[in-house]
Amino acid sequence: MSDNESARVVEFSIGGMTCAACSARLEKVLNRQAGMQASVNLAAERARVRLSGAADETAVVAAVGKAGFVAQVVDARTREREKADKLHSYRHDLRRFWIAVLLTVPLAGQMLFMFGEQGHERELPRWLQLLLATPVQFWIGWRFYEGAYKALRGGGANMDVLVALGTTMAWGLSAVVTIFELPQHVYFEGGAAVITLVLLGKLLEARARARTSEAIESLILLQPKTARVERDGRWVEVAVDTLMPGDIFQVRPGESVPVDGEVIDGESSIDEAMLTGESMPVRKRAGDKVFAATSNGQGAMRCRATGVGEHTLLAGIIRLVGEAQGSKAPVQRLADRVSAIFVPAVCAIALLTFVGWWLYSGEVAEALINAVAVLVIACPCALGLATPTAIMVGTGQGARAGILVKNVEALERAEKMKVLAVDKTGTLTCGLPQVTDSEARGMPAAEALRLAAALEQNSEHPLACAIVAAAADATILPVSGFKAWAGMGVEGVVAGRSLRLGAPEWLGLGGDGVAHRWQQEGKTVVVLAEGAVILAVFAVADALRPTSRAAVEGLRRQGIRVVMLTGDNPRTAAAIAAQAGIEEFRAAILPGGKASAVNELKAGGNLVGMVGDGINDAPALAAADVSFAMGAGSDAAIEAADLTLIRSDLLGVGEAISLSTATLHKIRQNLFFAFIYNVLGIPLAALGLLSPVVAGAAMAMSSVSVVSNSLLLKRWRPRNQMGQLGKFDGRR
């Protein structure tokens, strides 16, 4: 057996990563090992490793440990264990953050008087400053020392190195000045403030990561925990995870299908909306496939298991959603790459500054002060705030406009999107069947609708709900002798009349002109009959959203090619596409097919977006370069998507593109502000023209500049009327 044939992919949870530099370094370490091919996901804190040859899980854990991180094989209980551990860690760090705030506020407060005539007199006693700053530096800030040590041990440098180095030098010089009562300024407030602010950023990051697991959990909860399985001629209830391919299981009315399978006997209608996104139930009979977590109607079926455990369609979607959640932010990666070069450069400049001034002046204190000024001005406070502050303001404005931004990478890609794949049901359409047409024959239309609603009043079938909803203003009559014919219709006695309601073929109306025309338009036809007499014909369809056509026209004006993807039949798809003004569509495709369609669109070199609302859209959302979810859709789609449109309005895609462009513009400006202070300040500090006091003030001003610039995003506005995008001038 070849290595390729014996290769297997194992997923590991990774602990200890703090930035993109960590994940990149770990990925390099693993890929250097024999028999390992790894992909490390920072956001999901996961590593997927393809093992071949003699490589095994133990070797991966050992390699990860040597790189300074912790790895565990992901199993059925990993998610619950990780959730509990992360919650405990978050609460622990949150408590430490508030302690750091309490200790730092008195130190930072005295900076307000720094430039006054009596600023020195208003300083806190230096021994008190030492007592306040020391716990922040070495207790609260210990995580940065630990992260810096691991990074340096692994041959790299990250943000932790800058934080630990700069704050330690500031604290160390201040402590020496305090202990020996030297006539120099102290800088306790600078180090404490940096640690507190960076810790705040870490908490915000941890909070965002915690939310990424909610979609996976909601998907897992969809699958039933037990199944009725045939054992020695008897039906017994067993745990779903004990089923094997070939087992015979039963699905009773109203139950969910436990695993993927094939119908052996029985007949029913299955609601597959959670997989296909289509609101119309699908008729199932012997030989048809059924899928885990789909909902059975009123019939009973006996099925043979074909896919269990990780081999069900639902499990595949769960895996794809998990991969979608781990996208990396290019802008943040840029900051980490710059930091990797910036740290040794700053250290070298500080060392040269110290040696040069010592040789030039012969004063160790003056040389040390200038070297510390270099390190203080280089502290990455502004760099750490550049991205999160812009995202916080931008997403806040987006939330007011009904847009939620989750994936930072989308902020860079949305403005470059050239193709948008659009789901049909729940995205272009309302997602609920409605009675769109009716024709009464021999009786008033209102009376016919009232009789039909009486027959359907106790049914949860989507078609029944549509008819009952259409007759909401009428008094619903009681029904007796009710009977449901799986996949065909219902019958019963209403007001002394024996009535049937169902498919045209069942009631002998297959060749009717009106019914045929409605079917050609993609609508489902329901017939009301009394004996052989046809009383009325109804058309039920998922209506197009009022704004969908305008949204498609607006996107096309922006140069975006719109393609509709749907699991519905080609006839219905063609009708909806024509109504929405879409020229290109692909119909009758399952979730995997939607993802394949997105990949085909990407093959042309275009940047492709995807907008959807259901669990079935998760694979396509994962495959797209930029993904949008409708707010009224499933939690899985919302969590897998980069951006969520709370108003469930396709017009929001254009607004989201505008918001993404504005937010990314601010992030780039913030990074410029963060670096320009270092570019200008470090040479001045090295030449002795910038004291540590001014360096600390400049560092604080860089943070103020970044935050103030981010607040300018509040000027962004959504479109004021249909088809007109809100405008934002990034230069303001």
Residues with catalytic annotation? Answer: 423
> What is the distance of C-alpha 541 from the center of its chain?
31
DSSP 137: I
Instruction: Identify the three-state secondary structure at position 563.
Output: strand
Residues 6+ away with beta carbon under 8 Å from 549: 579, 580, 581
CB 549, CB 535: distance < 8 Å: no
How far is the CA of 552 from the CAs of 224, 542, 579, 584, in angstroms?
39, 18, 11, 12
Strand partners, 473: none
Q: What helix, strand, coil percent values describe the chain, rounded to 5?
A: 50, 20, 30
User: Which residues on adjacent β-strands are paired with residue 672?
Assistant: none
Place of tokens 């019958």: 491
What are the beta bridge partners of residue 8? 51
Under 8 Å between Cβ of 446 and 588: no
153 Rama class: left (phi>0) / alpha (psi -120 to 50) / beta: alpha
CB atoms within 10 A of CB 604: 10
Q: How far is CA 388 from CA 16, 210, 326, 381, 671, in A?
A: 21, 16, 17, 12, 11
Paired with 15 in beta bridges are: 70
Burial of 542 (0-12, 13-18, 19+ CB in 10 A): buried
Contact 696, 376 (CB under 8 A): yes
Q: What Cα–Cα distance (Å) separates residue 541 from each residue in 72, 517, 669?
A: 50, 13, 49
Query: What number of CA atoms fall less than 13 Å from residue 361's CA on the CB side?
Result: 15
Rg of the chain, C-alpha, whole Å:
32
Alpha-helical runs (H) found in 116-241: 126-135, 142-153, 159-179, 188-211, 214-222
Length of the chain: 732
3-state secondary structure of 482: strand
Q: Rounded to whole angstroms, how far apart are CA atoms 296 and 669?
A: 54
How far apart (Å, rounded) are the C-alpha atoms in residues 263 and 604? 40
Separation of CA 503 from chain center:
41
Pair of tokens at residue 653: 């895609």
Distance CA 668, CA 563 (A): 32
> Contact 528/501 with Cβ under 8 angstroms?
yes
Write the single-letter amino acid at 56: D
**Spatial contact of 570 and 580, defined as CB atoms under 8 Å apart:** no
What are 16's two structure tokens?
């200890």
Structure tokens at 483: 């009977």
Residue 527: what are its φ and ψ, rounded to 5°? Answer: -115, 135
Distance of CA 548 to the CA centre of its chain: 24
Q: What is the DSSP string of 648-664?
A: --TTHHHHHHHHHHHHH
Q: How far is CA 444 from CA 438, 525, 535, in A?
A: 11, 19, 9
Distance CA 22, CA 336 (A): 9
Residues paired with 50 in a beta bridge:
9, 37
Element at 186 (helix H, strand E): none
In whole angstroms, give the CA distance from residue 630 to residue 511.
Answer: 39
